[in-house]
Amino acid sequence: MMKSNVEIIQDFVEQVMNQKNFDAYDQYFSSDYIAHGNPYIGNGFSLDSSENKHIINMIFPGSPAEGNLQVGDELIFIESENQRWDTYEEIEQGSRQTSQSNKFKLGVRRDDQTIVYDLTKALIKGYNISKDQAKSGLQNVLTEEFPDLKATILQTLADDDRLVCFLEYHGTHSKFKREVVWREAWFMRLSEGKIVEDWGASDSESYYRQLGYQIIPPSTPED
């Protein structure tokens, strides 16, 4: 008897996420699967912060970073109007902090050169991530960042080919050595027993606060 979409997702969470069986990943996702990212205000790049370096590993189309930064650049400092982050630890904090200004200077090392860019935050439209990118990202989270992570499905709603799961994650961050609990709503569309596309909305503020990041509210302009 063919499994329902709810049972398929339950199996995925248990087999791949909780038991770290990545060999089973492909059986749950269509070959043309796409993960849809959420729009946000930012500079439009992501970092690989392994091996004590911050390396730009993705630049989002239509973002302020496009046409300036390049994949492979090493981020060596971030500077706002009133603060500068230039050590490995500070850059990691600075890349997440909310600044009073939307304008930044970013210094990158490219080949043997140091290049400085002025970037202004802008609306980054939702970007798409391919199946291979999504698989690699999930594997990194589950083996490098949270090797003890456990996912629990709290509630599931299904309607024809659409399904949404409300999940709770619990794990200890390998670098920060902090125990974290956060929740996510995971929306997806399935076809012939495989996920074709999905969207996620997680409680990022709670997640970063538990890791020790400071969430600084923007200042109110003086009249």
The model's pLDDT over 87-136, given as tens digits with 9 standing for 90+, comes to 988 887 776 654 456 888 999 999 999 999 999 989 988 888 899 989 98
- Alpha carbons 64 and 102: distance in angstroms, whole number: 12
Query: With bands split at pLDDT 50, 70 and 90, how would you rate the model's confidence at 51?
Result: confident
Class of domain 40-124: mainly beta
Q: Are 5-38+126-211 and 40-124 equal in CATH topology?
A: no
Q: Is the pLDDT of residue 56 over 70?
A: yes
Was domain 5-38+126-211 assigned CATH 3.40.228.10? no
Task: Please count the helices (runs of H) and the strands (runs of E) in the chain.
Answer: 4, 14
User: What is the rounded distance in angstroms from the CA atom of residue 132 to the CA atom of residue 77?
Assistant: 30
What confidence tens digit (pLDDT) does each residue in 149-158 have? 999 999 999 9
Give the pLDDT confidence score for residue 41 in this predicted structure.
86
Nearest to 29 by CA among 132, 126, 150, 156: 132
Share of the chain above pLDDT 90, in %: 64
Q: What are phi and psi of 120, to 5 degrees?
A: -120, 130
Given this model, what pLDDT does residue 155 score? 98
Residue appearing with tokens 């076809």: 191
Mean pLDDT of 50-59: 87
In percent, how much of the chain has pLDDT > 70?
A: 92
- Does the pLDDT of residue 223 top 50, yes or no? no
**Residue-level pLDDT at 98:** 46
Residue 126: the pLDDT is: 80
Domain boundaries, the chain: 5-38+126-211, 40-124
pLDDT at 218: 63
Q: Return the closest-CA partner of residue 193 out of 163, 151, 153.
A: 163
CA 130 to chain centre: 14
Q: Exposure of 63 by Cβ count < 10 A (0-12 exposed, 13-18 middle, 19+ buried)? A: buried
- 73 pLDDT tier (thresholds 50, 70, 90): very high
Residues in contact with 173: Cβ distance below 8 Å, sequence separation at least 6, in sequence order:
145, 146, 180, 211
CB contact at 8 A, 213 and 96: yes
User: Residue 72 pLDDT more than 80?
Assistant: yes
Residue of 5, 13, 1, 3 whose CA lies nearest to 153: 13
Q: What is the mean pLDDT of the chain?
A: 90
Q: Of 198 and 140, which is predicted with more confidence?
A: 198
pLDDT at 187 (0 to 100) = 98
- The 3 state secondary structure assigned to 25-77 is HHHHEEEEEEEECCCEEECCEEEECCCCCCEEEEECCCCCCCCCCCCCCEEEE
Evaluated on CA atoms 126, 129, 130, 135, the torsion sign reads negative
**If pLDDT is split at 50, 70 and 90, which confidence band does 52 have?**
confident
